[in-house]
Chains A and B, each alone.
Chain A
Amino acid sequence: MDILDIADLHHIYRGHEGETIALAGVDLVVSEGEFVAVIGRNGSGKSTLAKHFNAILLPGGGRVLVAGLDTREEALLWSVRQMVGMVFQHPDNQIVATVVEEDVAFGPENLGVPTAEIIERVDASLRQVNMEDYRTHAPHLLSGGQKQRVAIAGILAMRPRLIVLDEATAMLDPIGRSEVMSTILRLNREEGMTAVLITHHMDEAVKANRVVVIDQGQVVLSGTPAEVFSQYKLLEALGLDVPVAAKLSILLAESGLPLPAHILTAEQLVDELCRLN
Protein backbone atom coordinates (compact mmCIF):
# COMPACT_ATOMS: atom_id res chain seq x y z
CA MET A 1 0.00 0.00 0.00
CA ASP A 2 1.14 3.56 -0.65
CA ILE A 3 2.10 5.44 2.48
CA LEU A 4 0.89 8.72 1.13
CA ASP A 5 -1.86 9.06 -1.44
CA ILE A 6 -2.93 12.60 -2.22
CA ALA A 7 -5.57 13.32 -4.85
CA ASP A 8 -6.75 16.71 -6.11
CA LEU A 9 -5.78 18.49 -2.90
CA HIS A 10 -6.97 22.08 -2.54
CA HIS A 11 -6.18 24.53 0.21
CA ILE A 12 -7.23 28.15 0.61
CA TYR A 13 -5.99 30.51 3.35
CA ARG A 14 -8.56 33.05 4.45
CA GLY A 15 -7.03 36.20 5.92
CA HIS A 16 -7.78 39.89 6.34
CA GLU A 17 -6.83 40.66 2.75
CA GLY A 18 -9.12 38.05 1.26
CA GLU A 19 -8.35 34.56 0.08
CA THR A 20 -5.04 33.10 -0.99
CA ILE A 21 -5.06 29.88 -2.95
CA ALA A 22 -2.14 27.84 -1.59
CA LEU A 23 -2.87 24.47 -3.20
CA ALA A 24 -4.88 24.06 -6.39
CA GLY A 25 -5.27 20.38 -7.14
CA VAL A 26 -2.14 18.50 -6.06
CA ASP A 27 -1.77 14.79 -6.83
CA LEU A 28 1.09 12.97 -5.15
CA VAL A 29 1.77 9.35 -4.25
CA VAL A 30 4.66 8.23 -2.05
CA SER A 31 5.40 4.50 -1.81
CA GLU A 32 7.13 2.57 0.95
CA GLY A 33 10.91 3.08 0.99
CA GLU A 34 10.94 6.06 -1.36
CA PHE A 35 12.92 9.26 -0.84
CA VAL A 36 11.03 12.14 -2.44
CA ALA A 37 12.19 15.74 -2.62
CA VAL A 38 9.60 18.49 -3.02
CA ILE A 39 11.04 21.73 -4.38
CA GLY A 40 9.53 25.09 -5.19
CA ARG A 41 10.23 28.74 -4.54
CA ASN A 42 8.91 30.68 -1.53
CA GLY A 43 5.14 30.81 -1.56
CA SER A 44 4.79 27.94 -4.03
CA GLY A 45 2.72 25.96 -1.52
CA LYS A 46 5.28 23.32 -0.61
CA SER A 47 5.12 23.94 3.15
CA THR A 48 1.32 24.01 3.06
CA LEU A 49 1.46 20.66 1.29
CA ALA A 50 3.72 19.24 4.01
CA LYS A 51 1.29 20.32 6.72
CA HIS A 52 -1.39 18.20 5.06
CA PHE A 53 0.70 15.05 5.46
CA ASN A 54 -0.01 14.74 9.19
CA ALA A 55 -3.30 16.59 9.48
CA ILE A 56 -1.91 19.87 10.86
CA LEU A 57 -3.97 21.29 8.00
CA LEU A 58 -7.05 19.57 6.59
CA PRO A 59 -8.02 19.46 2.92
CA GLY A 60 -10.31 22.19 1.61
CA GLY A 61 -10.99 19.88 -1.33
CA GLY A 62 -9.71 16.51 -2.49
CA ARG A 63 -8.27 14.00 -0.02
CA VAL A 64 -5.12 12.88 1.77
CA LEU A 65 -4.74 9.20 2.66
CA VAL A 66 -1.96 8.16 5.04
CA ALA A 67 -1.49 4.39 4.77
CA GLY A 68 -5.12 4.25 3.71
CA LEU A 69 -6.39 6.46 6.56
CA ASP A 70 -8.22 9.65 5.62
CA THR A 71 -6.79 12.67 7.48
CA ARG A 72 -10.23 14.26 7.70
CA GLU A 73 -11.42 11.51 10.06
CA GLU A 74 -11.05 13.02 13.52
CA ALA A 75 -10.92 9.60 15.18
CA LEU A 76 -7.82 8.69 13.14
CA LEU A 77 -5.91 11.91 13.91
CA TRP A 78 -3.44 10.42 16.40
CA SER A 79 -2.79 7.30 14.29
CA VAL A 80 -1.99 9.58 11.36
CA ARG A 81 0.35 11.73 13.42
CA GLN A 82 2.09 8.68 14.86
CA MET A 83 2.73 7.34 11.34
CA VAL A 84 3.92 10.63 9.83
CA GLY A 85 6.75 12.26 11.77
CA MET A 86 7.55 15.87 10.99
CA VAL A 87 10.84 17.71 11.48
CA PHE A 88 10.36 21.48 11.32
CA GLN A 89 12.53 24.33 10.14
CA HIS A 90 13.53 25.96 13.41
CA PRO A 91 15.74 23.65 15.51
CA ASP A 92 15.06 25.54 18.77
CA ASN A 93 11.31 25.66 18.49
CA GLN A 94 10.63 21.94 18.39
CA ILE A 95 12.66 20.70 21.34
CA VAL A 96 10.44 20.51 24.41
CA ALA A 97 12.56 19.10 27.24
CA THR A 98 15.66 20.37 29.03
CA VAL A 99 17.63 17.16 28.44
CA VAL A 100 18.21 15.39 25.10
CA GLU A 101 16.96 11.95 26.18
CA GLU A 102 13.83 13.41 27.78
CA ASP A 103 13.02 15.17 24.54
CA VAL A 104 13.40 11.99 22.51
CA ALA A 105 11.05 10.31 24.99
CA PHE A 106 8.39 13.02 24.56
CA GLY A 107 6.65 11.38 21.57
CA PRO A 108 6.45 7.85 22.99
CA GLU A 109 5.27 9.30 26.32
CA ASN A 110 2.40 10.99 24.50
CA LEU A 111 1.54 7.72 22.79
CA GLY A 112 1.32 5.96 26.16
CA VAL A 113 4.15 3.51 25.47
CA PRO A 114 5.18 1.56 28.63
CA THR A 115 8.28 2.91 30.41
CA ALA A 116 10.55 -0.09 29.69
CA GLU A 117 9.85 0.23 25.98
CA ILE A 118 10.35 4.00 25.98
CA ILE A 119 13.86 3.45 27.38
CA GLU A 120 14.59 0.93 24.59
CA ARG A 121 13.24 3.26 21.92
CA VAL A 122 15.21 6.26 23.22
CA ASP A 123 18.44 4.21 23.15
CA ALA A 124 17.78 2.91 19.65
CA SER A 125 16.72 6.27 18.19
CA LEU A 126 19.71 8.15 19.58
CA ARG A 127 21.98 5.46 18.12
CA GLN A 128 20.26 5.79 14.73
CA VAL A 129 21.17 9.47 14.52
CA ASN A 130 24.61 9.08 16.16
CA MET A 131 23.74 11.21 19.17
CA GLU A 132 24.07 8.59 21.90
CA ASP A 133 27.00 10.45 23.48
CA TYR A 134 24.78 13.49 24.06
CA ARG A 135 21.95 11.76 25.96
CA THR A 136 22.18 13.89 29.08
CA HIS A 137 23.20 17.17 27.41
CA ALA A 138 21.13 20.33 27.51
CA PRO A 139 19.67 20.99 24.02
CA HIS A 140 20.54 24.70 23.97
CA LEU A 141 24.26 23.85 24.06
CA LEU A 142 24.10 21.70 20.90
CA SER A 143 24.85 22.91 17.36
CA GLY A 144 22.02 23.41 14.87
CA GLY A 145 22.77 20.14 13.07
CA GLN A 146 22.86 18.25 16.36
CA LYS A 147 19.54 19.77 17.44
CA GLN A 148 17.92 18.65 14.19
CA ARG A 149 19.33 15.15 14.68
CA VAL A 150 17.79 15.10 18.16
CA ALA A 151 14.50 16.17 16.56
CA ILE A 152 14.83 13.29 14.06
CA ALA A 153 15.52 10.88 16.95
CA GLY A 154 12.40 12.16 18.69
CA ILE A 155 10.41 11.29 15.56
CA LEU A 156 12.06 7.87 15.13
CA ALA A 157 11.14 6.98 18.72
CA MET A 158 7.48 7.19 17.68
CA ARG A 159 8.16 4.44 15.10
CA PRO A 160 6.71 6.35 12.13
CA ARG A 161 6.32 5.02 8.60
CA LEU A 162 7.17 8.32 6.96
CA ILE A 163 9.50 11.14 7.97
CA VAL A 164 8.82 14.60 6.57
CA LEU A 165 11.56 17.22 6.74
CA ASP A 166 9.84 20.57 6.27
CA GLU A 167 12.76 22.83 5.29
CA ALA A 168 14.62 21.21 8.18
CA THR A 169 18.00 22.28 6.79
CA ALA A 170 17.09 25.88 5.96
CA MET A 171 18.40 27.40 9.21
CA LEU A 172 21.60 25.32 9.34
CA ASP A 173 25.20 26.04 8.36
CA PRO A 174 26.76 23.82 5.65
CA ILE A 175 28.17 21.36 8.22
CA GLY A 176 24.83 21.02 9.98
CA ARG A 177 23.09 20.55 6.63
CA SER A 178 25.36 17.73 5.58
CA GLU A 179 24.92 16.08 9.02
CA VAL A 180 21.16 16.08 8.64
CA MET A 181 21.29 14.99 4.99
CA SER A 182 23.65 12.08 5.61
CA THR A 183 21.49 10.98 8.58
CA ILE A 184 18.31 10.96 6.53
CA LEU A 185 20.02 9.30 3.54
CA ARG A 186 21.38 6.54 5.74
CA LEU A 187 17.96 5.99 7.35
CA ASN A 188 16.41 5.75 3.89
CA ARG A 189 19.02 3.48 2.26
CA GLU A 190 19.97 1.22 5.17
CA GLU A 191 16.75 1.03 7.16
CA GLY A 192 14.24 1.58 4.37
CA MET A 193 12.66 4.60 6.06
CA THR A 194 10.36 6.48 3.70
CA ALA A 195 11.23 10.18 3.60
CA VAL A 196 9.86 13.37 2.06
CA LEU A 197 12.22 16.30 1.96
CA ILE A 198 10.76 19.78 1.46
CA THR A 199 13.64 22.02 0.44
CA HIS A 200 14.91 24.82 -1.71
CA HIS A 201 18.49 23.52 -1.79
CA MET A 202 18.89 21.80 -5.14
CA ASP A 203 22.02 19.93 -4.10
CA GLU A 204 19.86 18.16 -1.52
CA ALA A 205 17.07 17.38 -3.97
CA VAL A 206 19.61 15.73 -6.27
CA LYS A 207 20.08 12.94 -3.70
CA ALA A 208 16.40 11.88 -3.73
CA ASN A 209 14.85 9.03 -5.76
CA ARG A 210 12.26 11.37 -7.10
CA VAL A 211 11.91 15.13 -7.36
CA VAL A 212 8.54 16.89 -7.39
CA VAL A 213 8.42 20.55 -8.43
CA ILE A 214 5.58 22.66 -7.07
CA ASP A 215 4.58 26.06 -8.37
CA GLN A 216 1.48 28.13 -7.66
CA GLY A 217 -0.08 25.26 -5.75
CA GLN A 218 0.30 22.67 -8.48
CA VAL A 219 2.75 19.92 -9.40
CA VAL A 220 4.52 21.13 -12.54
CA LEU A 221 7.25 18.49 -12.86
CA SER A 222 7.87 15.08 -11.35
CA GLY A 223 10.50 12.46 -12.07
CA THR A 224 14.01 11.28 -11.26
CA PRO A 225 16.49 14.06 -10.41
CA ALA A 226 18.14 13.60 -13.85
CA GLU A 227 14.80 13.95 -15.63
CA VAL A 228 13.73 17.00 -13.65
CA PHE A 229 17.01 18.89 -13.81
CA SER A 230 17.35 18.32 -17.53
CA GLN A 231 14.43 20.79 -17.82
CA TYR A 232 16.65 23.59 -16.63
CA LYS A 233 14.93 26.22 -18.76
CA LEU A 234 11.56 25.52 -17.18
CA LEU A 235 13.07 25.44 -13.68
CA GLU A 236 14.81 28.75 -14.22
CA ALA A 237 11.57 30.24 -15.51
CA LEU A 238 9.97 29.12 -12.22
CA GLY A 239 12.67 30.98 -10.29
CA LEU A 240 14.52 27.88 -9.14
CA ASP A 241 18.26 27.24 -9.22
CA VAL A 242 19.54 24.31 -11.20
CA PRO A 243 22.66 22.52 -9.89
CA VAL A 244 25.57 24.06 -11.78
CA ALA A 245 27.03 20.69 -12.85
CA ALA A 246 23.68 19.58 -14.29
CA LYS A 247 23.19 22.76 -16.27
CA LEU A 248 26.79 22.85 -17.49
CA SER A 249 26.69 19.24 -18.70
CA ILE A 250 23.48 19.86 -20.63
CA LEU A 251 24.91 23.01 -22.23
CA LEU A 252 28.09 21.11 -23.13
CA ALA A 253 26.04 18.27 -24.62
CA GLU A 254 23.99 20.76 -26.62
CA SER A 255 27.16 22.28 -28.04
CA GLY A 256 28.32 18.90 -29.24
CA LEU A 257 30.21 17.11 -26.47
CA PRO A 258 29.10 13.46 -26.16
CA LEU A 259 28.08 13.57 -22.48
CA PRO A 260 25.41 11.29 -20.98
CA ALA A 261 22.17 12.90 -19.79
CA HIS A 262 22.21 12.01 -16.07
CA ILE A 263 24.98 14.19 -14.68
CA LEU A 264 23.97 15.96 -11.47
CA THR A 265 27.06 16.60 -9.37
CA ALA A 266 30.47 18.14 -9.98
CA GLU A 267 32.18 14.79 -9.28
CA GLN A 268 30.13 13.02 -11.98
CA LEU A 269 30.87 15.79 -14.46
CA VAL A 270 34.61 15.59 -13.77
CA ASP A 271 34.55 11.79 -14.23
CA GLU A 272 32.68 12.01 -17.51
CA LEU A 273 34.88 14.81 -18.87
CA CYS A 274 38.01 12.80 -17.99
CA ARG A 275 36.57 9.81 -19.80
CA LEU A 276 36.31 11.89 -23.00
CA ASN A 277 40.02 12.49 -22.97
Chain B
Amino acid sequence: MSMMQQITLGQYLPGKSVVHRLDPRTKLLMAFGFIMVLFIITAGWVEYGILGLAALLIIYTAKLPLGMVLRGLRPILIILSLTIVLHIFSTRTGTLLFRLWFLEVYSGGVNQGFLLAARLVLLVLSTSVLTLTTSPIALTDAIEFVLKPFKRIGLPAHELAMMMTIALRFIPTLIEEAERIMKAQLARGADFESGGLIKRAKSLLPLLVPLFISAFRRADELAMAMEARCYRGGDGRTKFKVLRYTKLDFYAWTCFVAVSALAFYVSYAL
Protein backbone atom coordinates (compact mmCIF):
# COMPACT_ATOMS: atom_id res chain seq x y z
CA MET B 1 0.00 0.00 0.00
CA SER B 2 3.00 2.30 0.37
CA MET B 3 2.96 3.51 -3.22
CA MET B 4 -0.81 3.94 -3.14
CA GLN B 5 -0.60 6.49 -0.37
CA GLN B 6 1.98 8.59 -2.16
CA ILE B 7 -0.05 9.03 -5.29
CA THR B 8 -3.12 11.22 -4.89
CA LEU B 9 -5.29 10.52 -7.89
CA GLY B 10 -5.96 13.68 -9.85
CA GLN B 11 -5.05 15.44 -6.58
CA TYR B 12 -8.73 16.06 -5.81
CA LEU B 13 -9.34 17.52 -2.34
CA PRO B 14 -12.95 16.72 -1.35
CA GLY B 15 -14.88 19.60 0.23
CA LYS B 16 -18.22 21.35 0.42
CA SER B 17 -17.20 24.93 -0.43
CA VAL B 18 -18.98 27.10 -3.00
CA VAL B 19 -16.20 26.38 -5.48
CA HIS B 20 -16.55 22.62 -4.95
CA ARG B 21 -20.29 22.81 -5.54
CA LEU B 22 -20.01 24.63 -8.87
CA ASP B 23 -20.90 22.64 -11.97
CA PRO B 24 -17.71 21.02 -13.34
CA ARG B 25 -18.45 22.53 -16.77
CA THR B 26 -18.43 26.02 -15.25
CA LYS B 27 -15.09 25.37 -13.60
CA LEU B 28 -13.52 23.81 -16.68
CA LEU B 29 -14.65 26.60 -19.01
CA MET B 30 -13.61 29.25 -16.48
CA ALA B 31 -10.13 27.79 -16.18
CA PHE B 32 -9.92 27.96 -19.99
CA GLY B 33 -11.31 31.49 -19.97
CA PHE B 34 -8.89 32.59 -17.29
CA ILE B 35 -5.93 31.35 -19.33
CA MET B 36 -7.25 33.07 -22.46
CA VAL B 37 -7.62 36.39 -20.62
CA LEU B 38 -4.14 35.90 -19.20
CA PHE B 39 -2.67 35.69 -22.69
CA ILE B 40 -4.79 38.35 -24.39
CA ILE B 41 -4.24 41.23 -21.96
CA THR B 42 -0.98 43.14 -22.17
CA ALA B 43 1.57 42.02 -19.62
CA GLY B 44 1.60 44.45 -16.72
CA TRP B 45 1.78 44.36 -12.99
CA VAL B 46 -1.65 45.96 -12.44
CA GLU B 47 -3.37 43.53 -14.82
CA TYR B 48 -1.67 40.47 -13.31
CA GLY B 49 -2.33 41.91 -9.86
CA ILE B 50 -6.07 41.92 -10.56
CA LEU B 51 -6.03 38.32 -11.85
CA GLY B 52 -3.76 37.18 -9.00
CA LEU B 53 -6.05 38.75 -6.43
CA ALA B 54 -9.01 36.98 -8.05
CA ALA B 55 -7.12 33.68 -7.94
CA LEU B 56 -6.27 34.16 -4.25
CA LEU B 57 -9.92 34.96 -3.51
CA ILE B 58 -11.03 31.75 -5.24
CA ILE B 59 -8.45 29.71 -3.31
CA TYR B 60 -9.69 31.33 -0.09
CA THR B 61 -13.37 30.61 -0.87
CA ALA B 62 -12.55 27.02 -1.81
CA LYS B 63 -10.88 26.65 1.62
CA LEU B 64 -7.80 25.15 -0.04
CA PRO B 65 -4.63 25.15 2.06
CA LEU B 66 -2.33 27.69 0.37
CA GLY B 67 0.70 25.50 0.95
CA MET B 68 -0.88 22.69 -1.02
CA VAL B 69 -1.78 24.96 -3.93
CA LEU B 70 1.74 26.38 -4.03
CA ARG B 71 3.20 22.88 -3.94
CA GLY B 72 1.51 22.43 -7.33
CA LEU B 73 4.06 24.96 -8.64
CA ARG B 74 7.00 22.74 -7.77
CA PRO B 75 7.14 20.91 -11.14
CA ILE B 76 7.50 24.21 -13.01
CA LEU B 77 10.21 25.68 -10.74
CA ILE B 78 12.93 24.92 -13.28
CA ILE B 79 10.98 26.50 -16.15
CA LEU B 80 10.24 29.50 -13.94
CA SER B 81 13.86 30.15 -13.02
CA LEU B 82 14.96 29.54 -16.60
CA THR B 83 12.42 32.09 -17.88
CA ILE B 84 13.58 34.70 -15.39
CA VAL B 85 17.30 34.17 -15.98
CA LEU B 86 17.05 34.12 -19.79
CA HIS B 87 14.99 37.30 -19.87
CA ILE B 88 17.25 39.09 -17.42
CA PHE B 89 20.30 38.45 -19.57
CA SER B 90 18.81 38.74 -23.04
CA THR B 91 16.43 41.71 -22.91
CA ARG B 92 18.26 45.02 -23.35
CA THR B 93 15.70 47.72 -22.67
CA GLY B 94 15.44 50.20 -19.81
CA THR B 95 18.41 51.36 -17.83
CA LEU B 96 21.60 49.41 -17.33
CA LEU B 97 21.54 48.08 -13.76
CA PHE B 98 24.95 46.39 -13.53
CA ARG B 99 27.54 44.58 -15.56
CA LEU B 100 28.78 41.08 -14.67
CA TRP B 101 31.93 40.34 -16.65
CA PHE B 102 30.47 40.30 -20.21
CA LEU B 103 26.78 40.03 -19.11
CA GLU B 104 24.75 43.20 -18.88
CA VAL B 105 21.56 43.37 -16.83
CA TYR B 106 18.94 45.96 -17.74
CA SER B 107 15.87 46.97 -15.70
CA GLY B 108 13.57 46.04 -18.60
CA GLY B 109 14.90 42.49 -18.56
CA VAL B 110 14.26 42.06 -14.86
CA ASN B 111 10.74 43.43 -15.30
CA GLN B 112 10.02 41.24 -18.33
CA GLY B 113 11.40 38.09 -16.70
CA PHE B 114 9.32 38.42 -13.58
CA LEU B 115 6.17 39.35 -15.54
CA LEU B 116 6.40 36.20 -17.65
CA ALA B 117 7.07 34.13 -14.52
CA ALA B 118 3.95 35.64 -12.93
CA ARG B 119 1.96 34.68 -16.02
CA LEU B 120 3.18 31.08 -15.75
CA VAL B 121 2.36 30.96 -12.04
CA LEU B 122 -1.18 32.23 -12.68
CA LEU B 123 -1.64 29.69 -15.46
CA VAL B 124 -0.68 26.77 -13.25
CA LEU B 125 -2.70 28.12 -10.31
CA SER B 126 -5.90 28.21 -12.35
CA THR B 127 -5.57 24.58 -13.44
CA SER B 128 -4.55 23.50 -9.91
CA VAL B 129 -7.68 25.05 -8.44
CA LEU B 130 -9.72 23.21 -11.08
CA THR B 131 -8.28 19.77 -10.32
CA LEU B 132 -8.15 20.31 -6.55
CA THR B 133 -11.86 21.17 -6.31
CA THR B 134 -13.32 18.85 -8.98
CA SER B 135 -13.49 15.06 -8.68
CA PRO B 136 -11.98 13.17 -11.63
CA ILE B 137 -15.40 11.74 -12.53
CA ALA B 138 -17.04 15.17 -12.62
CA LEU B 139 -14.12 16.49 -14.66
CA THR B 140 -14.50 13.63 -17.16
CA ASP B 141 -18.22 14.42 -17.55
CA ALA B 142 -17.38 18.08 -18.10
CA ILE B 143 -14.74 17.24 -20.71
CA GLU B 144 -17.23 15.02 -22.54
CA PHE B 145 -19.75 17.86 -22.57
CA VAL B 146 -17.26 20.45 -23.75
CA LEU B 147 -15.96 18.21 -26.55
CA LYS B 148 -19.43 17.22 -27.76
CA PRO B 149 -19.74 20.02 -30.36
CA PHE B 150 -16.56 18.73 -32.02
CA LYS B 151 -18.17 15.35 -32.64
CA ARG B 152 -19.33 16.62 -36.04
CA ILE B 153 -15.74 16.92 -37.23
CA GLY B 154 -15.07 13.38 -36.05
CA LEU B 155 -13.77 13.90 -32.52
CA PRO B 156 -14.83 10.86 -30.44
CA ALA B 157 -15.96 12.81 -27.35
CA HIS B 158 -17.73 9.96 -25.58
CA GLU B 159 -14.96 7.48 -26.30
CA LEU B 160 -12.31 9.85 -24.93
CA ALA B 161 -14.30 10.34 -21.73
CA MET B 162 -14.82 6.58 -21.39
CA MET B 163 -11.09 5.97 -21.82
CA MET B 164 -10.34 8.51 -19.11
CA THR B 165 -12.82 6.85 -16.75
CA ILE B 166 -11.35 3.40 -17.35
CA ALA B 167 -7.80 4.73 -16.93
CA LEU B 168 -8.77 6.29 -13.61
CA ARG B 169 -10.48 3.07 -12.56
CA PHE B 170 -7.46 0.90 -13.35
CA ILE B 171 -4.59 3.07 -12.10
CA PRO B 172 -4.93 1.83 -8.48
CA THR B 173 -5.44 -1.76 -9.65
CA LEU B 174 -2.29 -1.68 -11.78
CA ILE B 175 -0.26 -0.01 -9.01
CA GLU B 176 -1.34 -2.78 -6.66
CA GLU B 177 -0.31 -5.35 -9.21
CA ALA B 178 3.05 -3.68 -9.84
CA GLU B 179 3.76 -3.84 -6.11
CA ARG B 180 2.83 -7.50 -6.01
CA ILE B 181 5.12 -8.36 -8.93
CA MET B 182 7.91 -6.26 -7.39
CA LYS B 183 7.64 -8.16 -4.11
CA ALA B 184 7.63 -11.48 -5.95
CA GLN B 185 10.81 -10.47 -7.83
CA LEU B 186 12.45 -9.15 -4.66
CA ALA B 187 11.70 -12.46 -2.94
CA ARG B 188 13.65 -14.17 -5.72
CA GLY B 189 16.64 -11.90 -5.32
CA ALA B 190 15.87 -9.12 -7.80
CA ASP B 191 17.58 -5.81 -7.09
CA PHE B 192 15.73 -2.62 -8.04
CA GLU B 193 17.78 -0.16 -6.01
CA SER B 194 21.52 -0.39 -6.63
CA GLY B 195 23.61 0.47 -9.67
CA GLY B 196 23.58 3.37 -12.05
CA LEU B 197 20.67 4.79 -13.98
CA ILE B 198 20.96 2.32 -16.87
CA LYS B 199 21.31 -0.68 -14.59
CA ARG B 200 18.28 0.37 -12.58
CA ALA B 201 16.22 0.97 -15.70
CA LYS B 202 17.21 -2.49 -16.92
CA SER B 203 16.20 -4.06 -13.61
CA LEU B 204 12.69 -2.65 -14.13
CA LEU B 205 12.23 -4.76 -17.25
CA PRO B 206 11.18 -7.93 -15.38
CA LEU B 207 8.60 -5.75 -13.63
CA LEU B 208 7.21 -4.03 -16.70
CA VAL B 209 6.89 -7.06 -18.99
CA PRO B 210 4.49 -9.03 -16.76
CA LEU B 211 2.64 -5.83 -15.93
CA PHE B 212 2.03 -5.08 -19.60
CA ILE B 213 0.97 -8.64 -20.37
CA SER B 214 -1.52 -8.58 -17.55
CA ALA B 215 -2.80 -5.14 -18.57
CA PHE B 216 -3.59 -6.48 -22.04
CA ARG B 217 -5.36 -9.50 -20.54
CA ARG B 218 -7.39 -7.19 -18.31
CA ALA B 219 -8.32 -4.98 -21.26
CA ASP B 220 -9.52 -8.04 -23.17
CA GLU B 221 -11.68 -9.27 -20.29
CA LEU B 222 -13.02 -5.81 -19.55
CA ALA B 223 -14.05 -5.35 -23.18
CA MET B 224 -15.96 -8.62 -23.05
CA ALA B 225 -17.64 -7.69 -19.76
CA MET B 226 -18.63 -4.30 -21.20
CA GLU B 227 -20.11 -5.88 -24.30
CA ALA B 228 -21.99 -8.38 -22.15
CA ARG B 229 -23.51 -5.36 -20.42
CA CYS B 230 -24.73 -4.00 -23.75
CA TYR B 231 -22.07 -1.31 -24.23
CA ARG B 232 -22.15 -0.12 -27.82
CA GLY B 233 -20.55 3.32 -27.79
CA GLY B 234 -22.09 6.66 -26.89
CA ASP B 235 -25.13 6.59 -29.18
CA GLY B 236 -28.46 6.12 -27.41
CA ARG B 237 -26.80 6.10 -24.03
CA THR B 238 -28.47 7.84 -21.09
CA LYS B 239 -26.77 9.28 -18.03
CA PHE B 240 -27.07 8.29 -14.39
CA LYS B 241 -25.67 11.59 -13.16
CA VAL B 242 -26.94 14.56 -15.14
CA LEU B 243 -24.99 17.80 -14.88
CA ARG B 244 -27.14 20.74 -13.83
CA TYR B 245 -26.36 24.46 -13.71
CA THR B 246 -27.53 26.22 -10.54
CA LYS B 247 -27.79 29.85 -9.43
CA LEU B 248 -24.29 29.41 -8.05
CA ASP B 249 -22.94 28.99 -11.58
CA PHE B 250 -24.72 32.16 -12.68
CA TYR B 251 -23.12 34.15 -9.84
CA ALA B 252 -19.73 32.63 -10.61
CA TRP B 253 -19.96 33.61 -14.29
CA THR B 254 -21.02 37.13 -13.31
CA CYS B 255 -17.92 37.49 -11.13
CA PHE B 256 -15.75 36.03 -13.89
CA VAL B 257 -17.05 38.47 -16.51
CA ALA B 258 -16.63 41.40 -14.10
CA VAL B 259 -13.02 40.54 -13.27
CA SER B 260 -12.13 39.91 -16.94
CA ALA B 261 -13.75 43.20 -17.97
CA LEU B 262 -11.75 45.05 -15.32
CA ALA B 263 -8.53 43.41 -16.49
CA PHE B 264 -9.28 44.32 -20.13
CA TYR B 265 -10.19 47.90 -19.16
CA VAL B 266 -6.93 48.37 -17.28
CA SER B 267 -5.03 46.72 -20.09
CA TYR B 268 -6.41 48.57 -23.13
CA ALA B 269 -8.41 51.63 -22.07
CA LEU B 270 -6.03 53.16 -19.54
Contacts and interface: CB of A to CB of B under 8 A. Distances in A.
A and B: bona fide binding partners: yes
B136 A98 contact: yes
Interface string B236-265: 111111100000000000000000000000
A107 B229 contact: yes
Interface SS majority for chain A: helix
A139 B169 contact: yes
A106 interface: yes
A69 to B, nearest CB: 14
Contacts of B137: 97-99, 102
Contacts of B209: none
Nearest to B222: A93
A93 B226 contact: no
B227 interface: yes
A247 B242 CA distance: 57
Contacts of B237: 109-110, 112
B232 A110 contact: yes
A56 B223 CA distance: 11
A119 interface: yes
Interface stretch (A26-34, A60-68, A84-92): A84-92
Query: Which of B217, B227, B238 is most buried by chain A, counting CB atoms within 10 A of its CB?
Result: B238
B232 to A, nearest CB: 7
A180 interface: no
Given A94-B221, A96-B165, A110-B232, A115 B226 contact: no
Nearest to B233: A110
A108 B237 CA distance: 9
A112 B224 contact: no
A255 B59 CA distance: 83
A97 B165 contact: yes
B176 interface: yes
Interface string A96-130: 11110110011111111111001100100000000
18 contacts: A56-B227, A78-B230, A82-B230, A86-B228, A90-B218, A93-B221, A95-B169, A98-B165, A98-B169, A102-B241, A108-B238, A109-B237, A112-B237, A113-B238, A115-B238, A122-B240, A140-B172, A140-B176
Interface of A: 54, 56, 78, 81-82, 85-86, 88, 90, 92-99, 101-102, 105-115, 118-119, 122, 138-140, 154-155, 158
